[in-house]
Amino acid sequence: MPATPGGFPRHPPLVLIVDDNVDAREMYAIYLEHAGFRAAEASDGETAIDMVRRDRPAVILMDATMPRLDGWEAARRLKEDAETQAIPLIMLTAHAFDEHRRRAADVGADAFLAKPVLPDVLAAEIRKVLAAS
């Protein structure tokens, strides 16, 4: 089967980008599509949970601070749910203190990245969690 530019099969992995900032979501989506992934977007934790259950993304990029349901709680719920807990989840936040890294681990995140994150770093971390899953 022919590969995409990112080296994935014709149906590249779907990455769900969850962030209340539309510019950030669009920027990450463009980065990821150029890296050979497919991207879907959600603007809050509630929408993200619904999309994860419906679309089964390969990886979730979750911002921490959002309206309706923040990323910490959305991540916790997804990681406690037997149907969604195996999906790799990367917390992506401007909060880069050690306490935030610990909190990401506490809610079950598979990785933690501080914003802003370079496109190559983001794509590499996604590939890393995919390989580990």
Which of the residue ranges 7-16, 71-80, 120-129 would you say has the lowest mean pLDDT? 7-16
DSSP 65: -
Structural domain includes residue 6 = no
* Confidence bin at 2 (pLDDT 50/70/90): very low
Residue 97 belongs to domain spanning: 14-132
Structural domain includes residue 5 = no
* Mean of per-residue pLDDT scores for the chain: 92
- Looking up residue 63, the CATH number of its domain turns out to be 3.40.50.2300
Radius of gyration of the chain (CA): 14
Structural domain includes residue 123 = yes
> In sequence order, which residues have a C-beta less than 8 Å from that of residue 89 and are 6 or more positions away?
59, 60, 62, 75, 78, 79, 108, 109, 110, 111
Which of the residue ranges 35-39, 54-58, 69-73, 116-120 would you say has the lowest mean pLDDT? 116-120
Q: What is the mean pLDDT of residues 46-54?
A: 98
Range among 66-70, 113-117, 122-126 rated most confident: 122-126
Domain count within the chain:
1
Is a pLDDT exceeding 80 seen at residue 15? yes
